[in-house]
Structure 1
C-alpha cells in the first residue's frame, strides 16, 4: 500500500534530511495529498523536521506540475496529436489562455481532477511558462500549507488519543483526503 511504503521510507531515511527530502519528493509524484498528510504526521511524530518537510513537498508538487505542462508541450510536438486540433481552435485557445494563465492554474489547484487536463492544456497551448510556474508555486504554497496544517492538527490528536494505533488513523485520514478529492472530481465530471 502506498501509504505504508511512504511512511516506511521516511522512517528508514532516518535522520538524513537529504534522504527524507528525496522520499517526500518521490511521494508527491505518487499521491501528493497523501504524501502531504503522511509527511505532516511524521513531522508531528518528530521523525521529520518542518524545514525539510515543507520545502520538499513544495518542490515535489511543483516539479510534478511542470511535468504535466511538459507533457502538454511534448504532445503539441507530435504531428499526429497536433493535427487533432485545428489551427483555428488552437489559436483561439491560446489567445483565451494567454491573459488568464495565472488565474486558470490557481483555480485548477483547488478543483479535484482539474490539474491534469488544465496543466497539460497549458503546455499544449504553449502558455507563458513563467506565469505558469509562478501560479503553480503560489497555488501549491497555499493548498499544501493548508493541508499540511490540518494534517499536523490531526496528527497531534491521533498521537494524544490513539497511541500505538495512530498510524491506523493517519492512514485512514490520508485515504479520506484522497477519496474526497476523487469523489468531488467524479461528481463535478458527471454534472458537467
Structure 2
C-alpha cells in the first residue's frame, strides 16, 4: 500500500531517530547521549550512524555558545550571559588550562555553558575550540556507549529497559543536587570555585578597548 515496503519504513524511522539525536543536545546533551546509547544497545540502527548523529548534534549545540561570549564583549544585551555566576571562573581556567577545562566541562553537567561562553569571551582560537569540542564529545560518547554495551553484555536484554532509566535517574539526581546546593549556598555552577573567585568581567585582561569597557570607565 502507498508504494512503501518494510525497508523504506525502516529507513524513514532511521532518519527520524537521527534527526531526534541531532536536535536533543540543544535541549539536554546528556539525555541525547543516553538515548543514542540505548538505541545502539537495542540494535535500532547501526552504531556508527548513531554515533555520527549524536556527535554532530553535540558539536552543533555547543559551537554557537562560543559566539555568545564574543558578542558579550561588545553588546550589553549579550553581556548578561558573561556576567552569569561561574563564567569569570571558567574564563580564568580557560586561559590557563584550556584542554583540561574543556574536558572537565564535558563530563560535569552544569559547567558547560559558562565554559563555552568564557571561551568566546576570552577569544580562544575558534578552530581549536571546535576541534576540542569534537575530541571531548567523542570521548564522552565512547565512555557512555562502552558502559551501556558492557553492562548489556553481562545483564542481557533487560538492560535495554533498566540501564537508561538508572542512568537518567542518577543524572537527574546529580543535577538536582547541584541546583539545591546553588540555591542554598548561593554559589554558581562552577561550585566550589565560584563563591571565592567570581569577579566582574569588564576590567579583565583582554577586555580593554571594547565599548563596554569604555562604559565602565565613564
For normalisation by structure 1, the TM-score amounts to 0.70
Structure with greater proportional helix content: 1
**What corresponds to 1:9 in structure 2?**
none
SS of residue in 2 equivalent to 1:77: coil
Distance change in 2, residues 1:61/1:177 (3 Å): farther
Q: For each residue in 1:110-162, what CA deviation from the matched residue of structure 2 results, as whole angstroms up to 9, or x when unmatched?
A: 22311111111111222211221121111111112101221233455665347
Structure 1 spans left out of the alignment, 5+ residues: 1-12, 86-92
Report which structure shows greater RCO (CA 8 Å, sep ≥6): 1
The residue that corresponds to 1:19 in the other structure is 16
Normalising by structure 2, we get a TM-score of 0.63
Q: In the alignment, which residue of structure 2 is the partner of 1:107? A: 104
Counterpart-to-counterpart distance in 2, 1:41 and 1:94: 35
- How many residue pairs get aligned? The number is 169
Question: Secondary structure in 2 aligned to 1:160?
Answer: coil
After TM superposition, list the pairs within 5 Å mapping 1:148-159 onto structure 2: 148-155=145-152
Match of 1:179 among 172, 187, 207: 172
- Give the whole-Å Cα distance in 2 for the aligned partners of 1:15 and 1:84: 41
Q: Deviations over 1:33-64 (max 9, x none)?
A: 12212222222222121021111111111111
* Residues 41 and 159 of structure 1, relative CA distance in 2, 3 Å threshold: farther
* Preserved contact between residue 14 and residue 20 of structure 1 (Cα < 8 Å): no
Contact kept, 8 Å, 2:71 with 2:78, in 1: the verdict is no
1:101–1:37 Cα change, 3 Å: same
Larger radius of gyration: 2
Paired position in structure 2 for 1:75: 72
Q: Is the 8 A contact 2:21 2:35 kept in 1?
A: no
Shift of 1:177: 4.0
Structure 2: runs of 5 or more not aligned:
1-8, 83-89, 186-190, 193-218
1:162-173 matches, cutoff 5 A:
166-167=160-161, 169-173=162-166
2:35 pairs with 1:38:
yes
